[in-house]
Amino acid sequence: MQPAQHDVSAIPGTTLPGGRALPDVNQLSLDALLDLDAATLEALYQRARTPRIEELSGDLPGRMLATVVLPVRVADPVRRFAGSSAFPWKGKTFRPLGADHGEGDNRILSNRIHRFRFTTHLGPSRAGAFDALHLDYDHADNPFFIRVVQDELRTLRDGLWLGQAYLATQGAPRLVLYFGLARTLPA
C-alpha cells in the first residue's frame, strides 16, 4: 500500500524513488506527515533548515510518523495507532534558556502529564553535513530506557518540525523513527 500524497509540487531537481516528486512543505500539516514513507521523510529532513532554540517554545503537539526498524506488517498498524487520539505520546514542551540551549519534556497520556526531561543544544546532525537541534535525555532523573534516546529536529517550515529519534544502545546511535511537531493543533 503506497502512502497518500498531499498537494505535491516538485522542488526543482528533486525526485524520490519511483520518480515521485517531493511534497511541498508549505502544503503539509502535522497529520499529513503521517502519510509519508520513511524515504520521503528522510528527503524532507535533508532539505529542512536548522531551527533556532527560541523557535521551539511551549507545548507543541506531536505525532510519531514512521519507524525504520519494524517490518511493514507491524509498522503499518503502529502508524495508524500513532495517528489516533489514543496514542499515548501527545508531544513535547520546550523552554528556551538562551540562544544556545534550552530544556523540555514529553507530554504523555494527556497534555498535563510531563515526563522524560531533555536539554537542547544545536550541533552536527547524525543524518548529514548540517546542524540540527539535539534533545539530550541522558539525565539521572530519566529511566535507563529513555536515557539512550537521542532526538534531533529540523524545521520544515515555520511552525512545523521534523525529528529523528535514535537509540544509542551498542556503539553508534541507530535511527529508529521519525516524529513531527507543530505549533498549532493538528488538522
Q: Which CATH number does 17-182 carry?
A: 2.40.128
The dihedral built from the CA positions of residue 169, 174, 176 and 180, taken in this order, carries a sign that is positive
Of all residues in the chain, the percent with pLDDT exceeding 70 is 90
121 to 42, 100, 183: CA distances (angstroms): 21, 6, 19
Residues 150 and 142 sit within 8 Å (Cβ to Cβ): no
63: helix, coil or strand? strand
Question: Does residue 1 surpass a pLDDT of 70?
Answer: no
Average pLDDT, integer, range 106-112: 92
User: Quick check: 118 pLDDT over 70?
Assistant: yes
pTM: 0.87
Q: What is the pLDDT of residues 2-59, one digit of tens each?
A: 333 333 333 444 677 677 788 888 989 999 999 899 999 999 999 999 999 999 999 9
pLDDT computed for residue 169 by the predictor: 81
Tell me what pLDDT residue 14 has: 64
The three cell numbers locating residue 116: 522524560
Q: What is the average pLDDT across 90-117?
A: 95
Quick count: other Cβ atoms within 10 Å of Cβ 24? 14
The whole-number pLDDT of residue 30 equals 93
pLDDT computed for residue 17 by the predictor: 66
pLDDT value of position 78: 85
DSSP assignment string, 95-114: EE-SSS-EEEEEEESSTT-E
Residue 43: in which H helix or E strand, if any? helix 38-47
Distance CA 182, CA 62 (A): 7
- Radius of gyration over every alpha carbon of the chain, rounded to an integer in angstroms: 16
pLDDT at 185: 52
Place of cell 535507563: 144
**d(Cα 170, Cα 164) in Å, to the nearest integer?**
18
Q: How do strand 174-182 and strand 58-67 relate by DSSP bridges?
A: antiparallel
